[in-house]
Amino acid sequence: MTEPLSARTPATPLRPSACPGLLRIVPALDGGICRIKLPGGVITAAQAFAVAEAAERFAGGVIEATNRGNLQIRGIAADHDGLIATLLDAGLGPKNPASDDVRNLMLSPAVGIDPLQLFDARPLAAQMLHSLETHPRFHELSPKFALSLDAGEGLAMLEHPHDLWLSALNVNGETLLGFGLAGCPATESPLAAVTLEEGHALVVAVLELFLEHARPEQTRMRHLLQEMSAARLLERLAERLQLPLRHDQKITAWRRAPALPNAHIGLYPQRQSGLISVGGAVPLGRLSPSMLRSAATLSVELGDGSLAMTPWQSLMLRNVAHDQCASALEGLCGAGLLCDPGQALSQLIACTGSFGCGKGLSETKAGALQLADYLQEQGVSPAVHLSGCSRSCAAAHVAPITLLAVSAGRYDLYFRHADQPGFGELRGRDLTIEAVGALLTADSRSNTDD
């Protein structure tokens, strides 16, 4: 007998938030939005089929791959309870309903199988997620409060800022966990480091200290650091852990090696002999139910029966035998995914835009398709982010090129620049997509021609 929905959701109302969750569906112009948080970005084939069914039965059939390796269903109609029940029955909800908002831990989609990893991060990640779900105080964290765990994988999102980031480093033959606050390993060095065995205790202590010292309106680590210095926080942290934090120059001057570009698209080697991962980008982050079902079916037939969603809005089949990788790649392409980084559309990100968001000033996805067609004809594939407003919801980090909508069909053009804040250097104002395409093509050729 199916457990009634009322027995599986909190007795008290969920706290107000603009962020969707599985148990909290938030309104948009095109209907409700439900966000399904996936542990480590992984969803089983059976769960993927359940998401596809829910999107068809209770919504408009639009499934989104998010920039943190999760899934969203858009266009949800009136039967919220029916959709939530379907997803909970598939095991996609939190162990504790009150913890749905705070399960924000980013891992590499190649965690445990990456040939460049310094350790297998899955056991530590499981400990961290268990604490987020079962520690009642942690349920007070903002839905935007996020953590990342980087074990040195070649396939890793290093640019997304996190409230607490952990990154593996090797010092004199010993693997340690360096960590930082309100930033990311792509641009910062660790504040200090602990041993792998101390990693879980470190995370718990950092979160407890944040909740003890942050006022209610200070929802992110960067807010607390405006009043409490990182040095003072480290002192409190060492006292709580009852161990000295390691912060010699080898740690504080260490910089993470860059991740491999576009490694989530196409074939990616695994540390396990005879196996390979196969990935495809989701066009503009949107999956149809049939695309998701096709990918899930391939995972059963050729992989390990699961899909790894990535922070680049793509998905991967893992543990595919070498002699099956061509079939897997062909299957993903046949399902509608983009399996070649040379495809211009595989390099484009676009938010919902004015079609589904009241803050959007332009139909960004339509503009992105138009731009992709133009760039493909010109044989160039730059990484471009189209944002309907300045909130930049579709990209958690600053993209190399950003188009910021200023009105319907018109954009300001920015190039990322290390010395300039925000989206970077303004290169053009109030441009049409055609004008943007011409500028990007000219820029690409000027940077590659002798």
The amino acid occupying position 414 is: Y
Domain with 370 in it: what CATH number? 3.30.413.10
Per residue in 321-370, pLDDT (tens digit) is 999 999 999 999 999 999 999 999 999 999 999 999 999 999 999 999 99
Same domain membership, residue 359 and residue 437: yes
Q: Is residue 23 part of a domain?
A: yes
pLDDT of residue 243: 87
| The token pair that represents 438 in the structure block | 């011409």
Same domain membership, residue 142 and residue 237: yes
Q: How far apart are CA 254 and CA 252, in angstroms?
A: 6
Residue 222 CB: number of other CB atoms within 10 A? Answer: 13
Same domain membership, residue 352 and residue 334: no
| The token pair that represents 396 in the structure block | 């958690």
Residues 111, 151 contacting (CB under 8 angstroms) = yes
Q: How far apart are CA 287 and CA 151, in angstroms?
A: 29
Same domain membership, residue 98 and residue 123: no
Q: What is the DSSP letter of 336?
A: T
Q: Is residue 25 part of a domain?
A: yes
For residue 208, the number of C-alpha atoms closer than 13 Å in the C-beta half-sphere is 15
Same domain membership, residue 52 and residue 167: no
Q: Is residue 141 part of a domain?
A: yes
Residues 177, 195 contacting (CB under 8 angstroms) = yes
Residues of the domain holding 33 = 1-102+265-340
Same domain membership, residue 91 and residue 6: yes
Same domain membership, residue 145 and residue 69: no
Same domain membership, residue 275 and residue 325: yes
pLDDT of residue 7: 40
Q: E strand or H helix at 376, and its extent? A: helix 364-378
Q: Is residue 111 part of a domain?
A: no
Residue-by-residue DSSP string for 20-32: --SS-PEEETTEE
Q: How far apart are CA 382 and CA 448, in angstroms?
A: 12
Q: What is the DSSP letter of 228?
A: S
Residue 231 CB: number of other CB atoms within 10 A? Answer: 9
Q: Is residue 257 part of a domain?
A: no
Report in angstroms the alpha-carbon separations of 203 from 3, 46, 95, 188.
Answer: 34, 32, 20, 19
Q: Is residue 137 part of a domain?
A: yes
Q: Is residue 260 part of a domain?
A: no
Start-end of H helices in 102-246 = 122-134, 199-213, 221-225, 230-241
Same domain membership, residue 235 and residue 276: no
Residues 176, 195 contacting (CB under 8 angstroms) = yes
3-class SS string, 394-414? CCCCCCCEEEEEEECCEEEEE
> To 5 degrees, how large is the angle CA 39–CA 42–CA 48?
115
Per residue in 141-178, pLDDT (tens digit) is 999 999 999 999 999 999 999 999 999 999 999 999 99
Same domain membership, residue 387 and residue 312: no
User: Which of 340, 362, 394 is where one domain is finished?
Assistant: 340
Q: Please enumerate in sequence order all residues whose Cβ is within 8 A of that of 350, keeping only pairs 6 or more positions apart, or say none.
A: 284, 285, 364, 365, 367, 368, 385, 386, 387, 394
Tell me: pLDDT of 437 over 90: yes
148 sits in the region (left: phi over 0; alpha: psi -120 to 50; else beta) called: beta
Tell me: pLDDT of 55 over 50: yes
Q: Of the given ranges (240-244, 280-284, 302-306, 337-341), which has the lowest mean pLDDT?
A: 240-244
Same domain membership, residue 353 and residue 322: no
Domain with 81 in it: what CATH number? 3.90.480.20
Percentages of the chain per state (helix, strand, coil), in multiples of 5: 35, 25, 40
Residues 45, 308 contacting (CB under 8 angstroms) = no
Residue 15 — very low, low, confident or very high, per pLDDT cuts 50/70/90? low
The amino acid occupying position 333 is: C
Residue 57 CB: number of other CB atoms within 10 A? Answer: 14
Q: What is the DSSP letter of 323?
A: G
Same domain membership, residue 324 and residue 205: no
pLDDT of residue 11: 43
User: Which of 201, 230, 252 is where one domain is finished?
Assistant: 252
Domains: count for the chain:
3
Residue 271 CB: number of other CB atoms within 10 A? Answer: 14
Q: Is residue 227 part of a domain?
A: yes
pLDDT of residue 444: 79
Residues 251, 190 contacting (CB under 8 angstroms) = yes
Tell me: pLDDT of 67 over 60: yes
Residue 215 CB: number of other CB atoms within 10 A? Answer: 9
If DSSP codes are grouped into helix, strand and coil, which group holds residue 80?
A: helix
pLDDT of residue 448: 54
